[in-house]
Structure 1
Amino acid sequence: MNAKASQSILTTAFSYVGVAIGYFNLLWLMPYAMSPEQIGTFRTVQDMALLLVPFAQVGLGNGITKFFPRLHKHHFSFLTYSLFLTLAGFLTVSLIFFLLNDSIIKAFSSNSAEILGFLPVVLVITLFAVLNSIADAFCRSYYKIAMPTFFREVLIRLLLGITFLLYLMEWITFDQLMWGMGFAYGITMVGTFAYMQVRKIFGLEFEFGELPPTFKKEFLRYSFISLLATTGALLIMKVDSLMVSSMIGLEANAIYTIGFSIAIVIEMPRRAVSQIAMPLVSEYFSAQEHGKISKLYKDLGVSQAFICLLIFIGIWANIENIYAFVPNKEVYEAGKWIVLIIGGAKLLDVLFSINSEIILFSKYYLFNIVATVVMAIAVIAFNFWLIPMYGIEGAAIASFLALLLFNMVKYGFIAWKLRMHPWSWDLLKIMILGAFVFGVQNYIFDGYHAGWMNLVLRSSIITVIYGLGAYFWKIAPTMQATIKEKIKGFKP
């Protein structure tokens, strides 16, 4: 098994371990230890901080991935240069944040005044998260993505879970819990930099003059444009939560957050694949190997859709079982339709494969400005329009519509300029198989009571029928051949 495949497998494994811990934290520990208003406060502060990260980073993460292959040496000078730019970006964002303090207070004072005492925590999380994102980008450029994923997906959730337990046992106050969230992000950042040091891919060198002036100019220009592209994707992840808090209240955001977090697991395979796909796409564009990019576009679309649709079916088929174990379920199960809508949006995103990565690393990366402007306007406008009409379901529908529009614009551009598309007969087969499996399990388990037995039996039936259907219908033969080879590799 080659190093890249090993990193991808480990990354996926760590991602799902993180999801399991996150599920335990969010679906049981947080509702048991905290009130809905406190959960809403926690997530609003966290989302606000993470929404600031790409602005403080100034898009450098993607710039590092794109320009790293062009540097045959001076990597540590490049790292130091990037860290200085990031700190400058953070200071700028902090200044703007303080200047807008009155506007922030006005926006949240009516329905979510509790968050106003934790605005400093927002900046602490932003600082640690943005520095960690730079370390992450350099690890990704060296194809060292597994351990950074462990720190980002597993360790931070473990630390947050410990913080919730300390609060549950009344060893700390809620204020200390909120500051503990910032502490958890700090430990994650330190862990990533320590890993880089151990792997000998970290060092501070101040020979910025060794970086060609034209290189620095291109790097900064590309990073700024990348910032605009990244912001659009993050807006759809975070702005709906903030707008729910502002327009409805913290309890509504807690209900929305739990539903959203259940659904978000659907896209975890895509995130793991993207970590490997980005440097590959960058390399292929540098070598002008468009045929390999086109093949990657289709192959990853099929493999991602196959896994993500199975997860989507498993979650929605078990939605009553999942909510049955949530403390105060009578409060939170109002968000189950959020799971369906957001889950559908994430599945839709997966079907369009790696269109964002392709545009980002092509010579047409400027188009990301257009796509992001469309996205930003759409997601905010849809939320303002739909939240007053449909409440938290309106926020979910707004995210779905914005993501659909975002992907259609990017897909159309790639088809026009690069003559590539992600569609194949295997994708259609996967969707037909998924509809069949969902119908069969729904018929078999109609009337069953929610609980552990229902969850285990239903999930087993779904997995077996889905797997057998894919095998006998010969869906994704390349992926099946790879799996068979991996299985053979484990035989004595």
Structure 2
Amino acid sequence: MGIVLNQSVKNTVITFIGFAIGAANALFMYTHFLGEDYYGLTAFLLSSANIMMPLMAFGIQNTLVRFYAEHQTEEDKSRFLNLVLVLPLLIIIPVFLILFFFYPETASKLSVENPIIYDYVWIIPVIGLFMGYFEIFYAWVKVHLKTVFGNFLKEVLLRVFISIFLFAVYFGWITTIQFVYSLVFIYLTMMLIMAIVAFKIRRPQFYLKFPKEKKEIIIYSAFIIFSSSIAVMLLDIDKFMIGQYIPLKEAAYYSVAIFIALTISVPIRAMHQITHPVTTDLMARKKHTELNDLYKKASITLQVIGGLIMLGILTNIHQVYALLPEKYSGGVAVVFIISISKFFDLMLGNNNSIIFNSKYYRTVLLLGVCLVVLTVSLNMYFIPNFGIEGAALATLLSIGLYSLAKFLFVVIKMDLFPFTRKTLLSLGIIGLTFIAFYFWNFPFHPIINIILKSVLLSFFYLVLNYKLKISVDINDVIEKILKRIHIMRIE
């Protein structure tokens, strides 16, 4: 097994484990231990810090991956590392100076609707700084083809630390206010561990001179700031803007609904670990036919897997909310809206990998800028008028239009198309399964209901997909499982 595939499999497992721990945090511990106000505050602070992260990192995490291989000698590599560690200070120092001298004005502006935010505004750039340097040190590890431990830190250990501090709140060892402050300690710890790992792999040697191509590096980094910021803003701008227009507790309800819906995105994050290097290789060798086949296979496979997860969520959604405090039940509509937007994005398969490895990647930046303007505008209108459902509608419209634009761009400019007749068959199976399972429940405890319905739904759905041969890859997996079961019975 090659190093890429080997680490991709490990990273996929880590991603699922991390998501499971995150589910326990978001759906149970935050809601029961922290309370809606401080859950909303936590969601606001972390979303805001995540929006600032690409700026604080100066786009260096991508620049490091892009330019590292071009430096041949040890001295050149060390000079390059010196530059990537120093460049973010061009942004970090001015940001903290502005915050220091204009804190009352900045904090007051951000806390007009929710005064609780005022005392915690300083946490946003601090955590953004730690997030940014974590990504830089993680990129330093990536270029040495050692990604597993960094992914473990990011996906698993971070959530474990949060779980520990949430339990500390539950047992009364710390207060909810102290928990909010503890976020700074958690992200600082993550950054330091990642730095130790990075420098253990390659200890930097400091030189007074920077590499000769520093101008090119700075220009590329500035470009990446915008592209990275766009991707992050699409994920977190809605939670930030909720804190500006409606009570902060609504951000807690929205965060729970978003986390449930984002479960649909797990398959594409996992498959990306495998399809991205394959896509890159096929495009580099100009294998258009093979790339088109991969595009179709990725699309239908993700559609089938994502469809199953979406059905599991939507048909059990009322039972899931029965396990949460009653105040959170207003997020059901949000789950439906966001699920639809994420599923459409899922259907496009490895669309992003194709675009970002093509000569048209700058065009995507332009589309992204337009999308950010659209997203902010829609949120400014929908959130004050429709609350968290409005935020979800704004996300559905903006993400849907962005995904459609990227899809049309790939079809028209690159002559690639992800859909086949089986796409319609798959959508028909999803619709039929939803109608068959949504409108009834077992008269048992919600957890038992969820388990029983999920088992029946999965069996019904997978049998239909298998018999109709919707996805060759999924059928191969099912047949391998059936063969192993048959062999075990014989033995």
Asked if TM exceeds 0.5, the reply is yes
Q: Distance in 2 between matches of 1:467 and 1:418?
A: 33
Indicate the residue corresponding to 1:401 in structure 2: 397
* Aligned 1:412-431 pairs, distance under 5 A: 412-431=408-427
- Would you say the 8 A contact 2:316–2:438 is kept in 1? no
Q: Structure 2 vs 1, CA of residues 3 and 114 (structure 1 numbering), >3 Å: closer, same or farther?
A: same
Q: Distance in 2 between matches of 1:100 and 1:376?
A: 27
Identity, in percent, stands at 26
Q: Distance in 2 between matches of 1:80 and 1:272?
A: 33
Secondary structure of 2:46's match? helix
Kindly state the Cα deviation for residue 40 of structure 1 after the two structures are TM-superposed. Answer: 1.0
Verify: 1:118 aligned to 2:120, yes or no. yes
Indicate the residue corresponding to 1:454 in structure 2: 449
Q: Structure 2 vs 1, CA of residues 248 and 129 (structure 1 numbering), >3 Å: closer, same or farther?
A: same
Indicate the residue corresponding to 1:186 in structure 2: 188
Segment of structure 1 superposing worse, 412-421 or 309-318: 412-421
Indicate the residue corresponding to 1:163 in structure 2: 165
Indicate the residue corresponding to 1:19 in structure 2: 19
Secondary structure of 2:361's match? coil
Indicate the residue corresponding to 1:472 in structure 2: 467
* Aligned 1:249-264 pairs, distance under 5 A: 249-264=247-262
Kindly state the Cα deviation for residue 161 of structure 1 after the two structures are TM-superposed. Answer: 1.0
Verify: 1:378 aligned to 2:380, yes or no. no
Indicate the residue corresponding to 1:325 in structure 2: 323
Indicate the residue corresponding to 1:240 in structure 2: 238
Q: Distance in 2 between matches of 1:488 and 1:44?
A: 49
Kindly state the Cα deviation for residue 187 of structure 1 after the two structures are TM-superposed. Answer: 2.2
Secondary structure of 1:318's match? helix
Secondary structure of 2:87's match? helix
Q: Distance in 1 between matches of 2:417 and 2:83?
A: 37
Indicate the residue corresponding to 1:205 in structure 2: 205
Q: Distance in 1 between matches of 2:371 and 2:218?
A: 23
Q: Structure 2 vs 1, CA of residues 485 and 65 (structure 1 numbering), >3 Å: closer, same or farther?
A: farther
Secondary structure of 1:110's match? coil
Secondary structure of 1:363's match? coil
Secondary structure of 2:122's match? helix
Q: Distance in 2 between matches of 1:110 and 1:43?
A: 17
| C-alpha distance after superposition, 1:281-313 (max 9, x if no partner) | 445544444555444433322332222221111
Q: Which runs of 5+ in 1 are unaligned?
A: none
Q: Distance in 2 between matches of 1:417 and 1:206?
A: 45
Kindly state the Cα deviation for residue 211 of structure 1 after the two structures are TM-superposed. Answer: 4.7
Secondary structure of 1:175's match? helix
Q: Distance in 2 between matches of 1:207 and 1:284?
A: 39
Q: Structure 2 vs 1, CA of residues 196 and 108 (structure 1 numbering), >3 Å: closer, same or farther?
A: closer
Q: Structure 2 vs 1, CA of residues 431 and 212 (structure 1 numbering), >3 Å: closer, same or farther?
A: farther
Amino acid in structure 2 at the alignment position of 1:355: N
Q: Distance in 2 between matches of 1:115 and 1:260?
A: 21
**Aligned residue pairs, count:** 485
Kindly state the Cα deviation for residue 44 of structure 1 after the two structures are TM-superposed. Answer: 0.8
Q: Structure 2 vs 1, CA of residues 77 and 346 (structure 1 numbering), >3 Å: closer, same or farther?
A: farther
Q: Structure 2 vs 1, CA of residues 103 and 365 (structure 1 numbering), >3 Å: closer, same or farther?
A: farther
- Would you say the 8 A contact 1:40–1:252 is kept in 2? yes
Q: Structure 2 vs 1, CA of residues 136 and 286 (structure 1 numbering), >3 Å: closer, same or farther?
A: farther
Q: Distance in 1 between matches of 2:3 and 2:157?
A: 23
Kindly state the Cα deviation for residue 160 of structure 1 after the two structures are TM-superposed. Answer: 0.7
Kindly state the Cα deviation for residue 151 of structure 1 after the two structures are TM-superposed. Answer: 0.8
* Aligned 1:189-338 pairs, distance under 5 A: 189-196=191-198, 200=201, 202-206=202-206, 211=211, 213=213, 216-326=214-324, 329-338=325-334
Q: Distance in 2 between matches of 1:176 and 1:262?
A: 27
Q: Distance in 2 between matches of 1:173 and 1:304?
A: 43
Q: Superposition RMSD on alpha carbons, in Å?
A: 2.9
Q: Structure 2 vs 1, CA of residues 90 and 487 (structure 1 numbering), >3 Å: closer, same or farther?
A: farther
Kindly state the Cα deviation for residue 232 of structure 1 after the two structures are TM-superposed. Answer: 2.0
Kindly state the Cα deviation for residue 461 of structure 1 after the two structures are TM-superposed. Answer: 1.2
Amino acid in structure 1 at the alignment position of 2:255: T
Segment of structure 1 superposing worse, 98-107 or 467-476: 98-107
Indicate the residue corresponding to 2:34 in structure 1: 34
Indicate the residue corresponding to 1:10 in structure 2: 10
Q: Structure 2 vs 1, CA of residues 167 and 365 (structure 1 numbering), >3 Å: closer, same or farther?
A: same
Amino acid in structure 2 at the alignment position of 1:316: L
Q: Distance in 1 between matches of 2:190 and 2:236?
A: 21
Kindly state the Cα deviation for residue 400 of structure 1 after the two structures are TM-superposed. Answer: 0.8
